[in-house]
Structure 1
Amino acid sequence: MKTTPTERLLKINAFKQQAVEATKYFTQREQKIIQLTITDTTAEVQIDYTAILAIDLPN
């Protein structure tokens, strides 16, 4: 299955910040790593994500 990335974070601090920010949007969430691809310069992770929203999203 070919998919398009929905988020791209270039530094660990950006990844941490996004994870902390996302906690206020959900009452429950589960992430399972489906596939992990690591090269000399990149890491790509395919994640199966399930969540229950805590708020209505604007979009």
Structure 2
Amino acid sequence: MTFSNTLVSIAVAAVALVLLLGLVNMLRGGSANTSQRLMRLRVILQFIAIILIVIVLWWRNG
């Protein structure tokens, strides 16, 4: 596995982890503030993951 694959995998795993934490918090009836914070973090991590994927694809095809 190359370094770029590892970066993308870590980014995607981070998004999945935050998503699962948000779902667990929601199902347990946790704080709405925590849910909002996790949702914002998930959106930021998704943005980073998409940017990484685009960079890796551009780099491999360039």
Under a length normalisation based on structure 1, what TM-score does the superposition of the two structures give? 0.33
Structure with bigger strand share is 1
| Bigger Rg, structure 1 or 2 | 2
Structure with bigger helix share is 2
Q: Which has the higher contact order (CA 8 A, sep 6+)?
A: 2
Under a length normalisation based on structure 2, what TM-score does the superposition of the two structures give? 0.31
